[in-house]
Amino acid sequence: MFTTTLIAKPGGIDVSLVENLTNAWGGSVAIWLAPDEAAEFAVEKMPENFWQVWEDLQALGVDLLIQPSAGRRKQMLIADMDSTMIGQECIDELADEAGVGPRVADITARAMNGELDFEGALRERVGLLAGLDVHVIDKVLAERITLAPGGRELVATMRKNGAYALLVSGGFTAFSGQVASDLGFDEHRANTLDMADGKLTGIVGEPILGRAAKVAALEEVSTCTQSPSWLPNAICASIMATSARCYICKAIGNPNLPADPALLLAESLQSMLGFVVCQSQPPI
């Protein structure tokens, strides 16, 4: 048996779409994980036209995933922080306070698009923050940082069902520690901002945590939790930028689509609860 999952932004999935797909593939009665946002149904085998339907639904802003129902429950959650578990890029918020917002935001956008080397871009951006009062970090956390909708519920549900929740960020521990605590993660990893005399020095701690750090974290934590050191997609849910998720999948031996491609368009993390935890109704 296979489980078919559809996810979109709020209001992005019409009931008739799910019903038509269920009938076309001979699926079971659909279960709505979040009204007009996430639904799933079971099918006996992988449909031959899956990829054509996947492409058609992408054009409608709907993500589609089919995975084996057996062993579907995830044992680990690994997530990005910036623009994922929170709604902002922390370095951009700091830069705005320092008066260099446009310069840093431009570098951030180019780095996220893969136009710049991440490590070099991070050093350059942090360098522009030299002299900023460290108390500004607390101000940004209090006034600018917002948690993603459903984030607490997602992490709590994963942990309740025995999963290990890890926040791994290319951002900074000055933020990830608070965010991890607020959302209930088991652990967090991020870069460090060097400070002296109550000011940022403009230096980021080495080695810099980038995409490779996510793979390393996946391997290390899986060993500590007595899971296999090589983790198939079936036991790890990833919530991060597409490029980073592709990088991880290639590193662990799956060069195809990012792990859990249905996460790409989900606007509310709460809508993903049934998908990553394999429950027909998430226990909110």
Q: What positions carry a catalytic annotation?
A: 80, 82
Q: Where are the beta strands (DSSP E) in 9-93?
A: 31-34, 38-43, 62-68, 76-79
Cα–Cα distance, 195 to 172 (Å, whole number)? 12
CB atoms near residue 209 (< 10 Å) = 25
Return the number of other C-beta atoms located less than 10 Å from residue 46's C-beta: 12
**C-alpha distance from residue 122 to each of 128, 180, 201 (Å):** 10, 22, 14
Q: How far apart are CA 278 and CA 109, in angstroms?
A: 35
Instruction: Give the integer Cα–Cα distance in Å for 213 and 122.
Output: 15
Alpha helices (H) along 60-147? 90-98, 101-112, 118-127, 135-143
DSSP H helices, 113-225, are: 118-127, 135-143, 151-160, 173-183, 211-224
Integer angstrom CA distances of residue 118 from 98, 115, 141, 170, 172:
21, 9, 24, 9, 14
Is residue 1 within 8 Å of 42, Cβ to Cβ?
yes
Beta-sheet strand order (sheet of 76-79):
187-191, 164-172, 76-79, 236-239
Look at strands 38-43 and 2-8 and give their pairing.
Answer: antiparallel
